[in-house]
Copies of this chain bind each other. A is one copy, B any other.
Amino acid sequence: MYEKNGKSYYCPVEAALDILGGKWKPLILWYLKDGKLRFSEINQIIPVVNSKMLTKQLRELEKDGVIIRTVYPEIPPKVEYQLSELGKSVIPILNALCAWGCDYLGVTELHDSELICEQENS
């Protein structure tokens, strides 16, 4: 039994999945790998998630120490999100999961915008 941030895990894998397993978390982490993003930018990249859910996922990621939230005291407000060192260390894991997922889905080729959520409005 392992403890971290007030949560209990039977094994380290469970802890990893707890942190990465949110519906939008892999996507968020993936897009942050290239640098900082503002709240509205993330929301534009993943338009199917509403602001409440996005906020929740971002706060959990922040609480778990994988992203860093920076608030600029300006009007209008500006908030930037970026990966922490721990967050950067999950990118290889995401790549491994992506490779396995591609194998599972029978996808042989990945284009650059692989993880982009291009949801039509229709």
Residues of A near any B CB (own CB < 8 A): 1-2, 4, 9-17, 19-21, 23, 26-27, 30, 86, 89-90, 92-94, 96-107, 114-115, 117-119
Question: Which of A21, A94, A101, A105 has most B Cβ within 10 Å?
Answer: A101
Copies in the complex: 2
Contacts of A1 in B (CB 8 A): 118-119
Asked if A93 and B89 make an inter-chain contact with CB atoms under 8 angstroms apart, the answer reads: no
**Interface residues of A: mostly helix, strand, loop or mixed?**
helix
Select A90's contact among B20, B21, B100, beta carbons within 8 Å: B100
Report the separation of the CA atoms of residues A108 and B116 in the bound assembly, to the nearest whole angstrom. Answer: 35
Residue of B with least CB distance to A15: B101
Asked if B17 and A107 make an inter-chain contact with CB atoms under 8 angstroms apart, the answer reads: no
Contacts of A17 in B (CB 8 A): 17, 20-21, 26, 97
Sampled A-B contacts (23; CB under 8 Å): A1-B119, A4-B105, A10-B27, A11-B27, A11-B30, A11-B98, A11-B114, A11-B115, A11-B117, A12-B97, A12-B101, A13-B27, A13-B97, A13-B98, A15-B105, A16-B97, A16-B104, A17-B20, A19-B104, A21-B21, A90-B100, A93-B97, A93-B100
